[in-house]
Amino acid sequence: MNITEKKPYGKLIVGVGSALVDILAHEEDEFLKRTGATKGGMTLVDKEFIEAAVKETSRKPKIVPGGSACNTVVGVGQLGGQARFVGKCGNGKWAQLFREDLIKQNVDPVLFTSSSPTGRVLSIITPDAQRSMFTYLGASSETLPHELSNGCFDDAAIVHIEGYLLFNPELILGAVKTARASGALISLDLASFTVVEDSKNLLDQIITDFVDIVIANEDEARVFTGLADERRAVEALSEKVDVAIVKIGERGSLVAHDNKVIKIEAMGDGNALDTTGAGDLWASGFLYGLVNDYPLEKCGEIGSACGYEVCQVVGATIPEQGWKRIKKLLH
C-alpha cells in the first residue's frame, strides 16, 4: 500500500489516547486472584483501588509514562519519525514527568490539563509475561471532542487511535470525525478483548464508517469477528478496512490488504520478560514503515522487531541498543 496515493501530506503520525502513568508490578498468579484481575484483560477502577493494590505488591513497582497510543507514537519518534501525542493529564508532578518524557523522545506533546489527577494503570506482570491491568483514567477521560478540532491533526498522514477511547463514545466519535475531516488516514488499535466485548456495536460502526487500518491481536479479532481461525478473522476484518492486522504472538502476525493475506514471522526465540507495550510498539514499526512507503512485508518486519525488543525489558521503553538493532532493518 502506497500511503501517498490516499494522503498528500507528509509523514506525521498523531496518536490520540489516554495520557497514563504505568505502574509495573511483577507478581504471581495468586496476586491476580486476590485482586480480582482478569488475566490478560483490563478493568476500570478508581484511584483508591490502585493505591490499595500497590500496597499489596511484593516489591516496589516501576513507574513510567504510558498509555497505548502514547507508547506507539513514542516508538515512532524513537525510529526517527514525526510524532505527536494528543491527550489530557493533571497538573501535578506526574503530568510534568509525562510531558518532559515525550519531548525527550522526539514527540510533540499536545496535552490538555485538568484539575483531576493524571490517569494511571497498574500492570500486573505474571511469570508467563502476561500483563493484566487495572486502569484509573482520571484526567485522561476528560478530553472533550471540541478540543481535538484546534489543529491537533494538522498535517497528519495517520491519526492513530487507541481502542480504550471506546469507553468514551462521544470522544472517539469526535476523534474519528475530526481526523477524517483533516484528510488523514485513521488507524485503530482494538486495545483489549474486554474493550471489544463491552463496545462491540459502537466499534463495528466506527470501523465500518471511518477506519482505514485496524490492528488487533488474536483474542480481540476473535471476539469482534466471532471467528477463532486467525486467517479467517483477518480476512473478515479486511472486508471493512484497507489494511487489517491480526497479531498472533510468537507465531508472528497476519496482514490483509487488497484480498491478500501476508504472513509476517515473529522475531527472536519467542521468549519474553514482559509483554507490556508489545502491541503498541508493533504498531509503531508498522505505521512508521507505512508513511515511509515501505512494502507491507517490510512494515510488518519492522513492527515485529519493535514488538520483540520491547518484550526483552520491563515496561514499554526500548533501550538504545534495541533501537540500534531495529534501525538496521530500515536500510
Distance CA 78, CA 73 (A): 9
Q: 42 in a domain, yes or no?
A: no
HEC profile of 227-280: CCCHHHHHHHHHCCCCEEEEECHHHCEEEEECCEEEEECCCCCCCCCCCCCHHH
Which grid cell is 279? 502491541
Distance CA 43, CA 40 (A): 10
pLDDT digits (tens, 9 = 90+) for 2-16: 554 665 458 999 999
- Let me know: does 263 contact 251? Beta carbons within 8 Å: no
Specify the number of domains making up the chain: 1
Which grid cell is 316? 514499554
301: domain CATH number is 3.40.1190.20
pLDDT digits (tens, 9 = 90+) for 77-130: 999 999 999 999 999 888 998 899 899 999 999 999 999 999 999 999 999 888
The whole-number pLDDT of residue 316 equals 76
Q: 53 in a domain, yes or no?
A: no
Q: 134 in a domain, yes or no?
A: no
Q: 94 in a domain, yes or no?
A: yes
Per the document, the length of the chain is 331
Please give the residue range of the domain that contains residue 218. 3-19+67-116+141-330
Cell 530500515, residue? Answer: 330
Q: 129 in a domain, yes or no?
A: no
pLDDT digits (tens, 9 = 90+) for 158-215: 999 999 899 899 999 999 999 999 999 999 999 889 899 999 999 999 999 999 999 9
Q: 244 in a domain, yes or no?
A: yes
Q: 236 in a domain, yes or no?
A: yes
Q: 280 in a domain, yes or no?
A: yes
